[in-house]
């Protein structure tokens, strides 16, 4: 009986070790990761996700709104220009994420329409609609200033932010449009050259 009990304990121990190896724990986020902020989102395809689900590869991030007639199209131009400077291998490693300042109007349908109009590759580009209550907190961790205007438009910082795969800020640039900031592009290339997270 004692021998049978010992065999059962041994089998349980082996099973628990095997289970631990099969499902390793996800590494904790660094304390300075912007993904520490819990923020549910919806993307341009209507899929719900957490902001921290963006973790895993370097990303160029900015905030925008789809009805913006001035600076937001230039932010998109910047992302496309960065894509054009990259090799196919580099491009496959980079994510570009635009987060809406105007979730009341930026429905998934509006985000998808902009993505289609600007020919944004869904393998690289993610357009996100946060909950209205989370917009200010997201802008805060990204150090983006904005103000809603009476006519429904927004005054906001036009800035590109480079995050590493864990959501730490590596670089910022306020130069938007097709003329890229060489220092920012160099930072993107360095981030893409870093070993991929497993």
Instruction: Look up the pTM and report it.
Output: 0.83
Domains for the chain: give ranges and CATH numbers: 33-193 (3.40.30.10)
Distance CA 37, CA 40 (A): 10
Predicted pLDDT of residue 2: 40
Residues 158, 72: Cα–Cα separation, whole Å: 7
Measured from the Cβ of residue 186, the count of other Cβ atoms closer than 10 Å reads 11
pLDDT of res. 178 = 83
**pLDDT of res. 8:** 34
Write the burial class of residue 60 (CB in 10 Å: 0-12 exposed, 13-18 middle, 19+ buried): buried
Return the pLDDT at 67: 92
Tens of pLDDT along the chain (198 residues) come to: 444 334 333 433 333 333 333 323 367 989 999 999 999 999 999 999 999 999 999 999 999 999 998 899 999 999 999 999 999 999 999 999 999 999 999 999 999 999 999 999 999 999 999 999 999 999 999 999 988 888 878 778 889 999 999 999 999 999 888 889 999 999 999 999 987 765
The DSSP-derived string for 98-114 is EEES-TTT--HHHHHHH
């Amino acid at each position: 009986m004692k021998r049978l009990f010992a065999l059962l304990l041994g089998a349980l121990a082996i099973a628990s070790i095997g289970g631990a190896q099969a499902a390793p724990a996800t590494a904790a986020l660094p304390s300075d990761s912007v993904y520490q902020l819990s923020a549910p989102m919806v993307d341009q395809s209507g899929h719900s996700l957490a902001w921290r689900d963006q973790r895993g590869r370097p990303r160029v991030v900015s905030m925008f709104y789809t009805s913006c007639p001035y600076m937001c199209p230039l932010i998109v131009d910047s992302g496309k220009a960065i894509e054009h400077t990259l090799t196919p291998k580099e491009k496959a490693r980079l994510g570009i994420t635009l987060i809406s300042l105007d979730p009341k109007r930026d429905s998934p349908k509006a985000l998808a329409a902009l993505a289609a109009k600007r020919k944004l590759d869904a393998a690289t580009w993610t357009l996100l609609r946060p909950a209205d209550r989370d917009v200010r907190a997201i802008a805060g961790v990204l150090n983006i200033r904005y103000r809603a205007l009476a006519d429904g438009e927004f005054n906001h910082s036009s800035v590109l932010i480079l995050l590493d795969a864990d959501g730490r800020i590596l670089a910022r640039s306020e130069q938007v449009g097709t003329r890229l900031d060489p220092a920012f592009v160099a930072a993107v290339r360095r981030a893409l050259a870093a070993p991929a997270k497993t």
